[in-house]
């Protein structure tokens, strides 16, 4: 057999067949819906009250909004590593990631005391309201918190079961499970570091970046890319490139989320603006602003952003927003997002992915970060 190189036309045809994020999202919704139907059927067989009150609400949260970025990045990693043909396994991994995300959201809302999620009451709020509306005994708040913890646990159980079932059906199952173990541990570590930083009233930039990396960047982009690459049988060099690209893109995503948390429109984000400021969550945005305020001897900004400052009132939150602008922190974070998005493309090129897949990755990074990343040559 002659080893003929593909013509330009053949390469173009091949790249045109690369699934877009929209196609992946549609396919993922179908797979996720099928998985949830199976889990709800099983839950009703276990106990109808549990199924109605907890399982149905978990399924509703998963299907209500969400960008499905993790599924899209998993598919992109699979394609970058040469994946082709039946993509059912990678879509099921994506569905497991969406369920893991649901677990994180429910527990995060409990820890942060957030009232809304994806345009609706947060799980613990909804469960507390049910307690009150049905005239149940005891504390509605305590009931809501406890029920939400269980709902988050259920989402994690469903995620683990789905990943295990998928791993059993692929030759890469053992490696897939190892990657999954890492993403769960990193997510929990990030949540704890976030909690610890608030209790310790931390303000360091490096600590803020460590939290953002563990809590968001790795499990939002880096690990999904690596899970997809693993399914396609990627070697360690390709996986290393995927993880590096994902960490940069994931940090860009989290920094954008920090900006939206401070300045975004609740109608678009689905959650109240200012919650992170009100709780003085240690974000990169806050850490940079506090550092700049101290370096510039801006006592008013430093006082508004300092650990221990009263941030409960809307007026205090507005002072924090003003400080974020006046110190230049908002502009610094915007520039950092652009830098990270561009560097992520350079790392992704090391995978050897074909041009169509590289273009799709760039489109996903733009969607996640809110900026169109510069080409690799410009950031080299």
pLDDT at 375: 54
Q: pLDDT tens digit string along 197-228?
A: 988 988 899 999 999 999 889 999 999 999 99
pLDDT at 20: 60
What is the Cα–Cα distance from 146 to 158, expressed in whole angstroms?
Answer: 19
Structural domain boundaries in the chain: 19-379
Q: What is the pLDDT of residue 264?
A: 78
The DSSP code sequence of 28-76 is HHHHHHHHHHHHHHHHHHH-HHHIIIIIHHHHHHHHSS---HHHHHHHH
d(CA 294, CA 303): 10
Tokens representing residue 137 in the block? 């005994």
CATH number among 3.20.20.140, 2.60.40.420, 1.10.600.10, 3.90.230.10, domain 19-379? 1.10.600.10
Positions of the chain with pLDDT lower than 70, given as ranges: 1-22, 66, 267-272, 375-380
Average pLDDT, the chain: 88
Does the pTM exceed 0.85? yes
Alpha-helical (H) ranges within the chain are: 8-16, 21-46, 48-50, 56-63, 69-80, 88-112, 123-133, 140-168, 173-199, 205-212, 223-231, 236-263, 266-269, 275-278, 284-295, 299-305, 314-326, 329-349, 355-369, 376-379
- As to burial, measured by CB atoms within 10 angstroms (0-12 exposed, 13-18 middle, 19+ buried), residue 321 is middle
Q: What is the largest CA-CA distance in the chain?
A: 78
């Amino acid at each position: 057999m002659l080893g003929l190189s593909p013509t330009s036309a053949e390469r173009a045809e091949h790249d045109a067949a690369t699934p877009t994020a929209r196609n992946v999202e549609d396919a993922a919704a179908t797979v996720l819906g099928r998985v949830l139907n199976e889990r709800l059927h099983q839950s009703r067989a276990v106990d109808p009250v549990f199924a109605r009150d907890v399982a149905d609400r978990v399924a509703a949260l998963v299907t209500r909004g969400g960008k499905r970025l993790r599924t899209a990045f998993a598919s992109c990693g699979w394609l970058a590593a040469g994946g082709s043909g039946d993509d059912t396994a990678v879509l099921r991994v994506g569905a497991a990631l969406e369920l893991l995300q649901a677990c994180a959201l429910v527990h995060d809302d409990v820890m942060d005391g957030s009232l809304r999620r994806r345009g609706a009451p947060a799980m613990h709020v909804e469960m507390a309201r049910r307690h009150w509306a049905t005239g149940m005994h005891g504390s509605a708040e305590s009931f809501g918190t406890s029920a939400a913890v269980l709902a988050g646990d259920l989402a994690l159980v469903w995620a683990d079961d789905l990943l295990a079932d998928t791993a059993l059906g692929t030759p890469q199952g053992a490696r897939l499970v190892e990657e999954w173990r890492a993403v769960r541990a990193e997510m929990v570590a990030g949540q704890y570091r976030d909690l610890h930083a608030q209790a310790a009233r931390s303000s360091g930039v490096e600590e803020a970046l460590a939290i953002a990396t563990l809590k968001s960047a790795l499990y939002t982009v880096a690990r999904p890319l690596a899970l997809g690459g693993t399914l396609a049988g990627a070697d360690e060099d390709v996986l290393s490139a995927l993880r590096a690209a994902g960490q940069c893109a994931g940090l860009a995503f989290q920094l954008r989320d920090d900006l939206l948390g401070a300045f975004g429109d609740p109608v678009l984000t689905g959650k109240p603006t200012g919650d992170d400021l009100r709780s003085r969550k240690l974000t990169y945005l806050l850490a940079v602003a506090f550092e700049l305020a101290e370096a510039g001897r801006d006592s008013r900004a430093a006082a508004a952003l300092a650990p221990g400052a009263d941030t409960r009132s809307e007026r205090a939150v507005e002072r924090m927003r003003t400080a974020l602008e006046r110190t230049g922190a908002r502009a610094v974070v915007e520039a950092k997002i652009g830098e990270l998005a561009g560097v992520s493309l350079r790392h992704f090129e090391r995978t050897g992915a074909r041009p169509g897949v590289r273009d799709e990755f760039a489109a996903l990074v733009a969607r996640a970060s809110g900026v169109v990343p510069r080409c690799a040559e410009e950031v080299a």
